[in-house]
Structure 1
Amino acid sequence: MTDQDIRPDKRPLTPLAGPYGHPFHAIAVTAPIGAWLGSLIFDIIGFVAEDPAPYAIGSRVLIAIGLVGSIAAIVLGILDYLRIPDRTRASSTATIHMGLNFTVCGAYLFQFFLRTTTDEIPVAGFVFSVVSLLVLSASGWLGGKLAYRYGVRVADEAKQAEGFRLDERARARRGD
């Protein structure tokens, strides 16, 4: 398969999006997801700890890290989004995926400001974290659908098939 054989929507819009078959958006989302999940764990520990202040501060810092990390994920996601042909199932799914992610980012921005006034774990902040992570999970499911079902910005099936061809030594062992 030559570069000329690659469908235009599979090619990166810019090298910043990652090379053909290796979009960077998928790896960039791990930073905010991990930080926000960690903030929820700190919240839970803070509810049962004798002194919740260090956990409240830690949770607030993790929310901030997630927000900063989400900027990279958003930029990279938009670069992939711009490659999806309009009025397709993939574009509809991607639009919902993006909308949910913007909603989650807004909720965490609200939580960050809610938490700057106290060294306690606010119950409202905890509830927002739980709901935000549930929405983020639904969005992640849609992101998986975009990559694994619709093949957005991943290699063409012909290229993917290369990974499942037996090499000559394996063929000889099998008697093919």
Structure 2
Amino acid sequence: MDEAPERAPERAKEPVTVLAGPYGHPVHPIFVTVPIGAWAASLVFDIASHVVARGDFLVRGSQWLVAVGVIGALVAASVGFLDLFAIPPGTSAFRTGLVHMALNLAVTAGYAAGFGWRLADRHHHASSVGPGPIALSVVCLAALAVSGYLGGKLAYHYGVRVADEDTQARGFTTARRRTGN
């Protein structure tokens, strides 16, 4: 049985389980900061490994950041998946969520492959990251930016896992208004 279209936005605001975070405060946006930060920093380390003398410490640091990002992305994906389940299938929001998820999984797979590439390549480029892994990181970060745009569209345009307007309005009332004075 199809759900009434007017109920769909309300359903998408509710967590499907406590693991997704409480009403109006999903944990997915909190967890995504780990892979985004780690992967952006890894690119900075990659480039810096070409600028400094003896950049081997940057090569190792970048590799660790890529690994931290992959692990963080898997954690973020697990709770993001729960948020996707709250969106009624067949809707524009659900299709946007699927593309968001697919891009994120592709980026995570790209970084996982890049991690393996870096391991195999570390003897050839001990003091700097090779051009291939850097190019892969740039492509993955660009895809991540598109995915982030779609994630923002889910939250800010479609209101997925965002508190309803009545709940939001309570945050803008003054103490005087609440007491009736």
1:39 aligned onto 2:39: no
- 1:72 aligned to 62, 71, 75, which one? 75
> What is the RMSD computed on CA atoms of the aligned residues?
2.0
What corresponds to 2:146 in structure 1? 138
Q: How does 1:1-176 map to 2 (within 5 A)?
A: 7-117=10-120, 118=122, 119=126, 120-168=128-176
Q: Kindly provide the amino acid, as one letter, of the partner of residue 139 in structure 1.
A: S
* Structure 2 stretches lacking a partner, 5+ long: 1-8
Farther-moved stretch of structure 1 (49-58 vs 28-37): 49-58
Per the alignment, in what secondary structure is the counterpart of residue 74 of structure 1? helix
Q: Kindly provide the amino acid, as one letter, of the partner of residue 20 in structure 2.
A: A
Q: Kindly provide the amino acid, as one letter, of the partner of residue 59 in structure 1.
A: S
Q: Kindly provide the amino acid, as one letter, of the partner of residue 127 in structure 1.
A: A
User: Which runs of 4 or more aligned residues in structure 1 lie more than 4 Å from their structure 2 counterparts after TM superposition?
Assistant: none
Q: Is the Cα contact below 8 Å between 2:11 and 2:87 reproduced in 1?
A: no
What TM-score, normalized to structure 1?
Answer: 0.89
The separation in 1 between residues aligned to 2:99 and 2:177, in whole angstroms, is: 46
The separation in 2 between residues aligned to 1:155 and 1:161, in whole angstroms, is: 10
Deviations 1:8-27 (A, max 9, x none): 33221111100000000000
Number of matched residues?
168
Identity of matched residues, %: 46
Q: Kindly provide the amino acid, as one letter, of the partner of residue 46 in structure 1.
A: S
What TM-score, normalized to structure 2?
Answer: 0.87
Displacement after TM superposition at 1:169 (Å) = 6.8
The separation in 2 between residues aligned to 1:101 and 1:78, in whole angstroms, is: 11
Displacement after TM superposition at 1:52 (Å) = 2.2
1:169/1:86 Cα in 2 relative to 1: closer, same or farther (>3 Å)? closer
Q: Is the Cα contact below 8 Å between 2:42 and 2:63 reproduced in 1?
A: yes
Displacement after TM superposition at 1:164 (Å) = 2.4
Displacement after TM superposition at 1:165 (Å) = 2.7
Per the alignment, in what secondary structure is the counterpart of residue 156 of structure 2? helix
Displacement after TM superposition at 1:71 (Å) = 1.2
Per the alignment, in what secondary structure is the counterpart of residue 142 of structure 2? helix
